[in-house]
Structure 1
Amino acid sequence: MGNSNTTAAATTTAAGAVLEGAYKKATWHLIPFIFVCYFFNYLDRVNVGFAKLEMMDALNLSNTVYGLGAGIFFIGYVLSGVPSNLILHKLGARRWIAAMMIMWGALSAAMLFVTTPTSFYVLRFFTGVAEAGFFPGMVLYFTHWFPSQKRGQVMALFMSAIPISGLIGGPLSGWMLAHFSAGQGGMAGWQWLFLLQGLPTVLLGVAVYFYLNDGIAQAKWLSTEEKGAMQRALDDDEKQRQATSTVGQSIGDVLKNGSVWMLGVIYFSIQMGVYAINFWLPSIIKSLGYDTQTVGWLSAIPYLFAAVFMVWAGRSADKHRERRWHVSAPMLMGLLGLMMAANFSTNPLVVMVGLSMATMGALAALSMFWSLPAAFLGSAAAAAGLALINSLGQIAGFVSPFLVGWIKDATQSTDAALYVLSAVMLLGALLVLRVPAKLVNR
């Protein structure tokens, strides 16, 4: 009996070692590459915030026009989110993500041809259509590789591309605007910015087609034993999700489920803060009296702290098997940061501390949020459910920059807008705690 128990324990230990080795392989093979893709995805989405520093004067655009143009991207994004994710579910990640990246990279680069508000609106709208399926597609893609208990850290590593895009993209964008301000090649600095940050996405789209695998079965870099171990873990996770899921398996069930809509509202409240930071951070810092290149460097500071905080939060959530407070607490931190920036808007040091807190809190909540729906949506409901939640949240991408721009034109300050955004984030933080802990804390 003793020998059999020892043998069974050794077998279990060996199986666990194989599985952990497979997860490490999958993490190192997938995450760095997908991280780079998301880096350019986010950079292409928000570089208009830096282009604004020159583009508005060059084209004689008001803050309201800029806010509408920055936000109209998300109208296209919201309208196309669910269909795009369903196409990905049918065609597979490799082909559809490659096609999306090539399309949105080309459209982002084409922003250099903008001359009127109308052309600004049209290009932003269709760029949103092209990008719509990428993020929810990646969330869905990870469910094909990692079980719920591994996904917190994976999502944090993946979504740390957001602060890194700010950390690197801020100084890079500031340098581009300054370096090309002389009008090299007959183009202004803001035009070069769109071109040089859009073209790499097209090349990455081509690389996606040859590099990504649609799932575990196609991964030649995993052994047969590793594939089996990962698939069994996914099957066990799926059974657990099905046992606790409150969402039916059809698209109609997803649309009728109150929990899905509540999660969409929570995600909206997080994104209200995130997009205010993304689109207006350079302008808020510039209002303190700094030149364009200095704005680029200073804007990197909040994103540096956010990148470290996001990874720590992901590891903490997985270690403690706790999800709700790892979303709610960062949201509270974010709203406190926004209120600091608004209350001490003439003090550069306090404004930078407040903006750093806001960026850390909002982006950590953003990455931690996706452990909530992914934990209880069954595989059949995931494609539609994740896309719907993402689309509801992305409405904030339209509302937030437009609201801030309209308030700034009306009051000549962003302070009142920051108070409104703080109130929205407070509502979201409270709603998070209504999510049943037993569904997500694993």
Structure 2
Amino acid sequence: MPSPAATLATAPSRAALLEEQLYRKVNWRIVPLFICCFLFAYLDRVNISFAKLEMQSDLGFSDSIYGLGASLFFVGYFLFEVPSNMLLHRVGARLWIARIMVSWGITSACMMFVSNETWFYVLRFLIGVMEAGFVPGALYFFTQWYPSHRRGRINSYFKSSICLCGIVGGPLAGLILGHFDGVSGLKGWQWLFLLEGLPSIALGAVVFWLVADRIEDARWLNDEEKALMRQRMQEDRAAEPAAAQGEGLQAVLRQPVTWVMALIYMFLVMALTGLLFWMPQLIKGAGVASPLNIGLLSMLPYIVAVLFNLAMGRSSDRRGERRWHMAACAALTAAGYLLCALTPGQLLPLMLGMSLIMAGIIAWMPIFWTIPPRFLSGMAAAAGIALINSVGQLGGIIAPYLIGRVRDLTGVTTPALYLLCGVSVLAVGLIVWGVPKRFYRR
């Protein structure tokens, strides 16, 4: 018979084991589904970068027209992000995220009917409107299920969908463009929009069926498991610094750190979209002509990024440190842009530079999103996360159009790459000096 001392010694380890088993169960239920949803969100968002290889010549679009169309997605996203996330808080993630996915899937598939500049602009804007709220909605949803010390890793898994999109999306786009061109009288780029839009509609139905808005609503958890999760969430909220909980935007706007975080995120999005929408063109400019080969090469930066992202997310959670992990990622992004700018048209250094950029950005993003829930909660968290994400999307308006305009004026991308390097350096400074210590320290 074990002694009382032995029983006390083993009780905490048994409780920790049960907790790990419970969160493993929750992870398998939530994370793969949201990764899959985010994968198709990004496929529908950036497949235009591969469609450009054929669509631009078929429709007679200049680089400026393409860059503006790519940017207009973020205008719609910016305008409707905050109201979308506030509605999600009121009606629940299950219903609202399902609605988002169905509507963006339909609108993205309609891109196959674009025949002129006007419809190109209108549909790109509408895709942004329909998708607005998905990413901040998912991040807010995670704050209702996971204590803060687990969110860095969960956010890393979720944001790794961007890498998965690059790994899967590049070769898939190249295959569709190369093998479906002319089938049933449609161009390859038209098939690309259709075949990558329809799965989002189906996933919307899956979200509606599988997702539970709150721990209490999860029929796949027993009462003991629900009680343990609620206890962990209560302990986590009690340990956090005082958070804004006011109804709506007022509590958010009063927090200076909200605007610091929004500016950091705008720089991050500029760095991301500058590469995201122009990677296939940069690879083509380095002498690669085949759409399939361009798609295969575009996989490599994402493979590097997903490995680096998971390692950084784990390291940041284990050490309870956010600031220097984030700053290191932004510095890596700056170094990647500098390398690409210094070696134009050279495939090997270009691939290395793009790998550094993507690794830095993808690892930077999930660590960044662990900070807003530390100073916002309740409706303020829903509105604040959406506001930060929405202001950040201004970077997506600026960068793609900027690169297109620079290419039209100069014939090269190099000046824009130097500018994005500078933006990443500014982000390092804001991360190190602009975020209050109480929000990034354990």
TM-score by length of 2: 0.96
| Alignment counterpart, residue 265 of structure 1, candidates 263, 266, 273 | 263
Q: Deviations over 1:169-206 (max 9, x none)?
A: 0011011111122x111110000000000000000011
Separation of aligned partners in 2, 1:335 and 1:376: 28
2:285 counterpart letter in structure 1: S
- Spell out the pairing of 1:380-399 with structure 2 (5 A cutoff): 380-399=379-398
Q: Which residue of 1 aligns with 2:224?
A: 225
1:373 aligns with 2:367: no
Q: Which residue of 2 aligns with 1:23?
A: 23
Separation of aligned partners in 2, 1:39 and 1:362: 17
Separation of aligned partners in 2, 1:344 and 1:7: 64
- On the 8 A contact 1:376/1:440 being kept in 2, the answer is no
Separation of aligned partners in 1, 2:299 and 2:259: 34
Aligned-pair distance for 1:47? 0.7
SS in 1 for 2:272: helix
Q: Deviations over 1:333-358 (max 9, x none)?
A: 01110110110113211111111111
Separation of aligned partners in 2, 1:29 and 1:306: 25
Separation of aligned partners in 2, 1:28 and 1:54: 39
1:289 aligns with 2:291: no
- Spell out the pairing of 1:290-439 with structure 2 (5 A cutoff): 290-291=288-289, 292-433=291-432, 434-439=434-439
SS in 2 for 1:210: helix
Q: Deviations over 1:199-232 (max 9, x none)?
A: 0000001111001111211112222111111111
- On the 8 A contact 1:18/1:229 being kept in 2, the answer is no
- On the 8 A contact 1:37/1:204 being kept in 2, the answer is yes
Segments of 4+ in structure 1 off by > 6 A? none
SS in 1 for 2:367: helix
1:137 counterpart letter in structure 2: G
Q: Deviations over 1:107-135 (max 9, x none)?
A: 00000000111101111111101101100
Separation of aligned partners in 2, 1:57 and 1:256: 49
Q: Deviations over 1:88-110 (max 9, x none)?
A: 10111111111110000000000
Alignment CA distance shift 1:3-1:244 (3 Å): farther
Q: Which residue of 2 aligns with 1:74?
A: 74
- On the 8 A contact 1:270/1:428 being kept in 2, the answer is yes
Separation of aligned partners in 2, 1:5 and 1:101: 54
- Spell out the pairing of 1:45-194 with structure 2 (5 A cutoff): 45-181=45-181, 183-194=182-193
Q: Which residue of 2 aligns with 1:202?
A: 201
- Residue range with higher mean Cα deviation, 262-271 or 224-233: 224-233
Aligned-pair distance for 1:392? 0.7
1:259 counterpart letter in structure 2: V
- On the 8 A contact 1:15/1:229 being kept in 2, the answer is no
Aligned-pair distance for 1:17? 2.4
Aligned-pair distance for 1:371? 1.1
Aligned-pair distance for 1:10? 3.9
Aligned-pair distance for 1:8? 4.3
CA root-mean-square deviation: 1.4
Separation of aligned partners in 1, 2:400 and 2:57: 18
Q: Which residue of 2 aligns with 1:43?
A: 43
SS in 1 for 2:228: helix
Structure 2 gap ranges (5+):
none
- On the 8 A contact 1:238/1:379 being kept in 2, the answer is no
1:277 aligns with 2:294: no
Among all aligned residue pairs of Structure 1 and Structure 2, give the percentage whose two residues are the same amino acid.
42
1:184 counterpart letter in structure 2: V
Separation of aligned partners in 1, 2:439 and 2:6: 35
Q: Deviations over 1:41-70 (max 9, x none)?
A: 111011110011111100000000000000
Aligned-pair distance for 1:372? 1.6
Separation of aligned partners in 2, 1:436 and 1:222: 38
Aligned-pair distance for 1:14? 3.0
Separation of aligned partners in 2, 1:45 and 1:423: 26
Aligned-pair distance for 1:9? 4.3
Aligned-pair distance for 1:376? 2.6
Aligned-pair distance for 1:325? 1.3
- Residue range with higher mean Cα deviation, 289-298 or 428-437: 428-437
Separation of aligned partners in 1, 2:228 and 2:19: 6
Q: Deviations over 1:252-273 (max 9, x none)?
A: 1212321101100000001111
- On the 8 A contact 1:271/1:366 being kept in 2, the answer is no
Separation of aligned partners in 1, 2:3 and 2:323: 44
1:274 counterpart letter in structure 2: L
| Alignment counterpart, residue 249 of structure 1, candidates 241, 246, 250 | 246
Separation of aligned partners in 2, 1:432 and 1:100: 32
Aligned-pair distance for 1:248? 5.3
TM-score by length of 1: 0.96
